[in-house]
Structure 1
């Protein structure tokens, strides 16, 4: 039986983590199904209010008695400038015209203080609801938060896109680190080199990180099946995190248009863009990304840009218009399948056993 430190720490049957995809993808059914199948289900709670987060945690507890976790976005300081908001809205208004939306000049954006207070409340929900695993993206929380969570015996997972970021996660007290290769779909978890020009691929990143940290490493980015699992374990990772593979599952809350776009995608169709949120993120190329390509230097930082494009993304979803949606996807999209979580996990484990992995 494969029994490494990661499996023991997280009380898992299999070293498989479902990526915490924010924005409604990680339904209670998806998270619970992963945990019930022996992996680690994760709530992508980055955009959830503390009240909605609490409700979902309580729902999942009714659906599984196994370990599951919550992922939070670490707030980064930002300043709202009226002239920048107006300027970006001018760039976005032609898209609003295409979607029959009203033109915008000034948009109400929550302040950094509000974002920070929400994060504090989210941390309290994790503690009060006795969630056993909490992971972080876009940075490392302050020492005070880490101490508070560790006092409750909550296992902490950080995210890194470089060796330097992985080392910082270990120094700060993270118990485990997810190393995110450039192949990964959705937002880059970078927080030191935020422009992320290095974009290190996963197979290069794993052994370099493993040689520099003592905490267990979870590999993420382009992994869709047992081949990715075996390769990651061979290079020294103790487990894998899969996003796109779970996004197209029946239980996922992703929009049907988003799922279809992934299921029909070719290997070269994903690109990294800042146009939707202000942070680099990998998704399927569409008209919005193409039209914004030359304006990427003018977009606002996260979460300002994310708020400014919200009406566009919502209207596109309501109108089933894939050209203006953020179709986040990893580079291995063409390996995605429409199936249940149980079917995905079952086939992954069966393939791994054929490759002589002793589960």
Structure 2
């Protein structure tokens, strides 16, 4: 077991090791995964941005029943893009022709749209404050001063995500406790909030070196990190911890599908792309038929979360039919190096590396699956 690494980041988070499990949305987070990471001395996280407010209290209670260690709940500060607040008749009719062929292919009827495609952040965050998780992490913006003051009053540690130096400086000025510097290599959504995501694609290690000396609070590196060597490299460059996403997503405890895991352990993992085709917001995943066929239609895609809602109506049928060509397969660029299939073996490997027990290059991923 690696010795405890004590620095300002681990102290503020109340964890033994500088490893944070990235939060996953869309049903990919599980309490089992978050608790497993927390119980092993890292910070487990649960992406709760699609949950209604009334689910957040029971979620926090469930996590407290599984771990006595700190954990994080994650929300999206910006819950819609311009024009996407409501799915009214006009919005639906304009978007439907783009998705109709896929509904027909899967044998699905035209869905009936809800008024909104995403819970309201203002209502979610009030429920989160009541639930009082040890850590509140967030993306796509900065909560209001009222919310941040309440977090301080309730001893909730705040963690915000930045994709540029300007965003990191804005988070620092707002009094956020820790800043995640998330590079373009990362899987899932690009949580940019000052400039377009397409204009906020600095790589992780460059971003860490730019952000760390310019902010007052600890920096967490995210993107392109799957093992302890990556964590150590990030810390050499100024980060005090690393957030790891894809390597935890592929673990058995996550909420993703076996087909997604198989794709991440296959040659398909060598090919990722940044696309708006699944949600309307830019995100990195494996290349498949959906990303290829929707690429020429980006200008026609409805805004987030309207695109996300249409895709969510297709997803269950596509998964049931084994159609990985029509579902999101989120992945970071480091996926070809994935080796571990459980949270315990991944954490054990990370901690061994951090202890200096595995300084030589790892063997080929396919040669030593754990």
What TM-score does the superposition give when structure 1 sets the normalisation length?
0.93
310, 328, 347: which is aligned to 1:326?
Answer: 328
2: CA distance, partners of 1:11 / 1:158: 17
Q: Secondary structure at the match of 2:146?
A: helix
Partner of 2:108: 101
Q: CA offset at residue 128 of structure 1?
A: 2.3
Shift of 1:54: 2.1
Partners of 1:250 and 1:299 in 2: CA distance:
33
Distance in 2, Cα, partners of 1:180 & 1:63? 28
Larger mean Cα displacement after TM superposition, 156-165 or 315-324: 315-324
Distance 2:270 2:161 in 1: 25
3-state SS of paired residue (2:97): helix
Change (3 A) 1:135 1:288: same
Distance 2:162 2:299 in 1: 24
Secondary structure in 2 matching 1:309: helix
* Structure 2 counterpart of 1:52: 55
Alpha-carbon distance in structure 2 between the residues aligned to 1:310 and 1:322: 14
Q: Is it true that 1:352 corresponds to 2:341 in the alignment?
A: no
| Aligned residue in 2 for 1:28 | 31
Shift of 1:162: 0.5
Aligned with 2:214: secondary structure? coil
Matched residue, 2:280:
278
Aligned runs of 1:182-197 on 2, under 5 Å?
182-197=184-199
State the aligned residue count: 352
Greater mean deviation of Cα atoms: 278-287 or 250-259: 250-259
Displacement, 1:172? 1.3
Identify the range of structure 1 (33-42 vs 189-198) with the bigger mean alpha-carbon deviation.
189-198
C-alpha change, 1:137 and 1:198, in structure 2 (3 Å) is closer
Q: Structure 1, residues 232-280: CA drift from partner, whole Å, max 9, x if none?
A: 0010000000010001111111111111111114554110000110100
Give yes or no for contact 1:249–1:337 (8 Å, CA) kept in 2. Answer: no
Q: Which moved more, 1:296-305 or 1:237-246?
A: 296-305
Check the 8 A contact 1:17/1:41 in 2, yes or no.
yes
Partner of 1:148: 150
Q: Select the residue among 227, 238, 241 that pairs with 2:240.
A: 238
CA distance in 2, matches of 1:267, 1:259: 10
1:180 to 161, 179, 182: 182
Which runs of at least 4 in structure 1 moved beyond 4 Å after TM superposition? none
Structure 1 residues 342, 220: closer, same or farther in 2, change over 3 A?
Answer: same
Query: 2: distance between equivalents of 1:266 and 1:317?
Result: 18
Q: How far is 1:356 from its partner?
A: 8.9
Please give the per-residue CA displacement for 1:274-318, whole angstroms capped at 9, x wherever unaligned: 011010000001111111000011111111211122111222122
Task: Measure, in 1, the Cα distance between the counterparts of 2:17 and 2:189.
Answer: 25
Q: Are the aligned partners of 1:75 and 1:115 in contact in 2 as well (CA < 8 Å)?
A: no
Q: CA RMSD in A?
A: 1.9
How far apart are the structure 1 equivalents of 2:313 and 2:292? 19
- In 2, distance between residues paired with 1:157 and 1:198? 19
Distance 1:222 1:154, change over 3 A: same
Contact 2:56 2:131 (C-alpha < 8 Å) held by counterparts: no
Kept in 1, the 8 Å contact 2:79–2:119? The answer is: no
Equivalent residue number for residue 298 of structure 1? 300
Of residues 76, 89, 92, the one that matches 2:96 is 89
The worse-fitting range, judged by mean Cα deviation, of 55-64 and 30-39 is 55-64
- Separation in 1, partners of 2:29, 2:179: 20
Structure 2 portions without partners, runs of 5+: 360-370
TM-score by length of 2: 0.90
Report whether the alignment pairs 1:67 with 2:70.
Answer: yes
Q: CA deviation at 1:76?
A: 4.6
